[in-house]
Amino acid sequence: MKKSIVVLSFLMTTFLNAEDKTANGTGAAPAPPPPVAKTVHTENHINGGKLVDDYRWLRDKANPEVAQYLEGENAYADGVMKPTAALQQKLYDEMISHIKETDVNVPYKEGAYFYYSRWEKGQQYPILGRKKGSTDAAEEITIDVNALAKGQPFMSLGGYELSDDGNLLAYSTDNTGFRQYKLRVRDLRTGHDSEVIADKVGSVAWANDNKTLFYTVEEDKTKRQYRLYRHIAGAETGKDDLVFEEKDERFNIGVGKSRSGKYIILQIGSHTTSEARFLDAADPKGEWKLIAPRQQDVEYYADHHDNEFLIRTNDKGRTFRLVSAPVAAPGKENWKEILPVRPDVMLNDLEVFQDFYVLVERENGLPQLTVVNFAGGGKTRITYPEPVYTASPQINREYKTRMFRYGYQSLVTPASVFDYDVEKHTSTLLKQTEVPGGYDASRYQSERVWATAKDGVKVPVSIVYRKDLKKADGSNPLYVYAYGSYGAILPVTFSPSRLSLLDRGVVMAFAHIRGGGDLGKPWHDAGRMMNKMNTFTDFIACTEYLVANKYGARDKIAIEGGSAGGLLMGAVTNLRPDLFKVVVSHVPFVDVMNTMLDASLPLTVPEYEEWGNPNEKAAYDYMLQYSPYDNLKKGAYPALLVKTSFNDSQVMYWEPAKYVAKLRTLKTDKNVLLLKTNMAAGHGGASGRYEHFKEIAFDYAFMLTQLGVEK
């Protein structure tokens, strides 16, 4: 299916110890005491246990006392950070110096046009444009996100799908950060926008008649995508036909078009189970047909080629196999195996073209792209120059082509775009992102090591540092990042902002712990549900390995994670508060028990298959072992910076707010604890690129000061 490339990444953040301000030479007066949240005692009795929650009142977003408390925490954080203002500015200037502020991405061909996005210096958001027939033709701007953002505190572009004739653009926008997107259609011949067609829209796909649009919307309570509608461009809004509704709260739906352009595919899936339905794209009012009925704990994903579907499925093994099925009778009884399950190779995805397909695989914790010709079945793996890297498909809209576009980068190599010639077996570099400001990749070293987990399992860790560091003496500050949930792969990517840490002597490590997908679906299974504790003990083992092997000093360790990675931060801090100097936690999922016991919250029911259902005693008892909020206790803690957003739809702001309020009453040390809330953003923080860099500079200034690194 055609895919939008969505790069999800968490900010690397930093801390400051308020006690160190005078020692750092600022001469600043001590900061005022932090805000104290009121307590309203509540208890939840379930499964023979008692959950005490004195800060449940913070859930009431409409209560003005809530915003007042969060603003008070913001003022306290800004006060503590004020002595670092010059350092923040210096870091921000460094980051800006390492990006090409006016730049353009490599165009991709779709229909008669070449499409691209570009940036202009001083602008917060990208400009999306196209050129007809040639990249030398006159520019036509399709969407200027800066124009959409005027007068808005936040702006995010969601869907961006063009009709086959290139005349109509279906696009969606979110102006709050709550990830609820409004859908419009723009006539690119006139520039005219329709009224809002629908709210809370997820995926969209055009039929081949260039006027029928399918889109999915979310359910109010669960925030899951659950309904599919059909809209006719130019028709009255609010009267679209409901095509499909998913009743099971565990499942989300998404609609897309096969790259061949022949079929529209409705993918329906939970965390463990899926099914697909398809429609002839030339018959938008036709019958949606089922490929194979859902079967618990079996996933399958289909794309079209010729008279068959190619289907990636885990019905015979957790690492997936590849089968084909005739379009006329695609049921499981007609599946024919093309590629069997390979225990050591995870088949993550599939890209289908007219004359070839690409297997998107992972082996030994590294990504692989294998090109297979339909004629003859010849296979070629694309090769890469470094031992630690990320490689992935880029935007490939053309079905009839001999070129496959992919991206490559590493911890030292900037993001690069290649075209692979399937006939010549050669890769051509189209663009490598320019890094101004004197960046020299030869000054940096990346490597991969394997730490031994508590149960003897080997866990990969990717590391980057400056070559001129005196690594052997083990005195360097050490930064460790991880995620470790949902089977998500932690990509090894290049970050120009990261240079501000590397050039100050910080060794940076990225732990590919269980619960993630770095070694395939079995790696995920080994760190979810009743195996979740492996995620946390893996991280501790990786950190201890790095110290033991002199990558960093035991008293100079900073760790960071966001969202489910924030759960990781909270859990390992409770388990080993002595091991870490600084803990950076973004939008952290720290109130596990209360959230997972509340089925009215978004994501709760679908995520029973990731964490467990605490209404069941066995799951309750296990989850209670690691829930960060419930395991806070009196004692010494590292310095913490906890960041959230008021409009976060994934991890509600009150989780980190409650966590910080409770921790303030229990910590016995003098290390600083800050809560910073973006009052006009969502899960990913600020939407504008310059504001994003300011947030990173704030975090880096805090961490560097806390680690005792010279400015």
Q: Which residues are catalytic?
A: 563, 648, 683
Query: What distance in Å separates the CA atoms of residue 193 and residue 142, rounded to the nearest whole number?
Result: 11
Query: What distance in Å separates the CA atoms of residue 193 and residue 418, rounded to the nearest whole number?
Result: 35
Under 8 Å between Cβ of 181 and 158: yes
Q: Is 464 exposed, middle or buried (0-12, 13-18, 19+ CB in 10 A)?
A: buried
Q: CB under 8 Å to 269, separation ≥6 — which residues? A: 251, 252, 275, 299
Query: What distance in Å separates the CA atoms of residue 579 and residue 142, rounded to the nearest whole number?
Result: 51
Closest to 372 (Cα-Cα) out of 299, 305, 301 = 305
Q: Are strands 336-339 and 507-511 parallel, antiparallel or unpaired?
A: unpaired
Query: What distance in Å separates the CA atoms of residue 269 and residue 585, rounded to the nearest whole number?
Result: 30
Q: Are strands 308-313 and 321-326 parallel, antiparallel or unpaired?
A: antiparallel
Query: What distance in Å separates the CA atoms of residue 365 and residue 373, rounded to the nearest whole number?
Result: 25
327-338 burial: b if 16+ Cβ within 10 Å, else e: beebebeebeee
Residue 182, H or E segment: strand 182-187
Q: Is 287 exposed, middle or buried (0-12, 13-18, 19+ CB in 10 A)?
A: exposed
Query: What distance in Å separates the CA atoms of residue 214 and residue 236, rounded to the nearest whole number?
Result: 15
Instruction: Give the amino acid at 591.
Output: D
Tokens 């010639």, located at residue: 421
Query: What distance in Å separates the CA atoms of residue 261 and residue 276, rounded to the nearest whole number?
Result: 17
Instruction: Give the amino acid at 500.
Output: S
**Orientation of helix 64-81 relative to helix 654-664, angle to 10°:** 60
Query: 660 is written with which tokens?
Result: 């910080």
Query: What distance in Å separates the CA atoms of residue 94 and residue 92, rounded to the nearest whole number?
Result: 5
Under 8 Å between Cβ of 562 and 586: yes
Question: What pairs with residue 356 in β-bridges?
Answer: 373
Under 8 Å between Cβ of 597 and 46: yes
Closest to 172 (Cα-Cα) out of 140, 141, 205, 139 = 205
Query: What distance in Å separates the CA atoms of residue 392 and residue 359, rounded to the nearest whole number?
Result: 11
Under 8 Å between Cβ of 445 and 412: yes
Q: CB under 8 Å to 6, separation ≥6 — which residues? A: none
- Reduced to 3 states (helix: H, G, I; strand: E, B; else coil), residue 693 is helix
Handedness of CA 531, 537, 542, 548 (dihedral sign): negative
> How far, CA to CA in Å, does 246 sit from each of 137, 253, 286?
45, 8, 19
- Reduced to 3 states (helix: H, G, I; strand: E, B; else coil), residue 364 is coil
